[in-house]
Structure formats: structure tokens, C-alpha cells
Amino acid sequence: MTARRVAFVTGASQGLGAEVAVALARDGCDVAVSSRRVEKLVGTLEKIAAAGARGAPVELDLRSQSSIERAMAQAVGALGRVDALVNNAAVTLRRPALEVTREEWDELMAVNLKGSFFMTQQMGRHLIAARRPGCIVSLASTHGLVGFAQRSTYGISKAGLAHMTRMLAIEWAEHGIRVNAVAPGTVDTPSRAEYFASHPGAKQAMVERVPFRRFATPAEVAALVCYLASPQAAYITGQTVVMDGGLTSY
């Protein structure tokens, strides 16, 4: 009997991370899910179980190296191995560049770029020590590919994530480790809906910039992550796959 694949999704208590975790469970994976507060993972774990998969809650603060190391050890201890890591956890910042503080910069980079790098490093160490192939899929963004007003710090962090993908794909290819990223445009999540509710006219203005005249659904993004994490994508590495309804094609 073939062992089930095991995935680890960071920032999976809600929104896109939860959607990805449940999609992976439906795709045949057992799934470790993380949050800074494990009690927030209950809903996601219930959906993983309903999909017929094992789930494991993991406490993770990407700003802490010891937390990163403990999280990987907990995931492996609970589920026996990790075959795929999904770097989803991130913080956002909407601020004019002239107003960004050093504290805001440090917080955002500590999670989005530094934390994701060292989480990926732990995954690489796990796979290489086990002499097994595996993969990493990071959630980048179109903000890291083209310019947007008031999103400079966030965009810079996501651009770094996309380049991390290219660099590590080259370095770890000899170990059979694939490293890819997904760069969505705007995704129709509850947090995005809250923003639009408090900013009248913003949704229409953003939709009109997208050739498809709509935003991505969380399920669409999750399906792409599942594909990149699957054996069907065995020859894909070093890529940041853009999923933006044509936004960056102008």
C-alpha cells in the first residue's frame, strides 16, 4: 500500500491557507497546519478530517527560529514525514512608501521573507537528511512582479520570495527537491471583502483593471498549489506561476 503524501501549510487557520490545506487533504494528503495560535486551527482540522485525511495542529511563529525548528519537528513527529511545504503565512501592509516605519518594514520582512526562507531551509534539511524528494510551494503575489501604489514593502517581500524560489530550485535540484511559487492577483477572500466594505468604489476600480473582470477564487488558487505539490508536476521547478486573470499582461 502506497503511503499517503504529507503536506505542511503555514498560516492555515483561515482564508487562502485553510482553503489550500483542505484541498490538499481532498487530493490525498495528510496535512499539518500551523498558526501562531493553535486554537484557531480547529475549523480547518475538522474539514481535513471530513476529507478523510489526518491533520496535525502546529504552533508556529515565523519570526522565531526556535519556533520554526519546533514546528517542523512537530509536523514530522505527528505525521511521520513531510513531502510538501506550502509557505502561505504572511502579513500585509498598505502604506505610502514615505510613511513606512523601520518597525513595519522589519515585521513584514521577518514573516514574509525571512521567516519563509528559514521555514523552507528546515524543509530542505528534512528532505535531504531523509534522502527523499519533495517540494516547496510559496504564495508570492503580483505585487512582487509589477508596481502598485502604497504596497511597496509588501511587494518587495513577495519579489524576494519569487527569487528565493529560483535560487533554491537550482541549489536543491540535485536532491530531487522542487521549489515553485504561485503569484495570484486579488483573491476573493473574507479579509479582502472586509477591505472593500470599508473602501467604497475600490472593488470596482480593481476589477476593471483585470481582463477577466473578476478576482480569483480561493479554490482556484488552491487547485494550482495542489498541482504544483503533486507528482504530476514532477518536471516543474524554479517557476513563479502567475494567476491573475491577465492583469500583468498589459
Beta bridge partners of 84: 7, 135
Is residue 208 situated within a structural domain? yes
Is residue 175 situated within a structural domain? yes
Is residue 248 situated within a structural domain? no
Distance CA 53, CA 76 (A): 16
Average pLDDT estimate for 138-151: 95
Q: Is the pLDDT of residue 80 over 60?
A: yes
Confidence band of 200 (pLDDT split at 50, 70, 90): confident
Q: Cβ–Cβ contacts within 10 Å for residue 66, how many?
A: 8
Provide the CATH number for the domain around residue 161: 3.40.50.720
Is residue 56 situated within a structural domain? yes
55 φ/ψ angles, rounded to the nearest 5 degrees: -125, 150
If you write DSSP's letter for every residue of 103-130 in order, what string do you get?
A: HHHHHHHIIIIIIHHHHHHHHHHHHHHH
In angstroms, how far is CA 192 from the centroid of its own chain? 17
- pLDDT given for residue 193 in this prediction: 87
Is residue 138 situated within a structural domain? yes
Confidence band of 55 (pLDDT split at 50, 70, 90): very high
User: Using alpha carbons only, what angle is made at residue 237 by residues 170 and 78, rounded to the nearest 5 degrees?
Assistant: 100
Q: Which three cell numbers stand for residue 187?
A: 483573491
- Is residue 212 within 8 A of residue 246, CB to CB? The reply is yes
Is residue 61 situated within a structural domain? yes
Q: Cβ–Cβ contacts within 10 Å for residue 106, how many?
A: 12
Is residue 249 situated within a structural domain? no
Structural domain boundaries enclosing 223: 5-243
145 φ/ψ angles, rounded to the nearest 5 degrees: -115, -35
Active site residues: 154
Is residue 250 situated within a structural domain? no
The tens digit of pLDDT for each residue in 229-241 reads: 999 999 999 999 9
Confidence band of 1 (pLDDT split at 50, 70, 90): low
- pLDDT given for residue 2 in this prediction: 65
Total-model pTM:
0.96
The tens digit of pLDDT for each residue in 9-39 reads: 999 999 999 999 999 999 999 999 999 999 9
Distance CA 184, CA 242 (A): 6
Q: Which three cell numbers stand for residue 184?
A: 495570484
Q: Cβ–Cβ contacts within 10 Å for residue 141, how many?
A: 28
Domain count, the chain: 1
Average confidence score pLDDT of the chain:
96
Confidence band of 169 (pLDDT split at 50, 70, 90): very high
Q: Is the pLDDT of residue 221 over 90?
A: yes
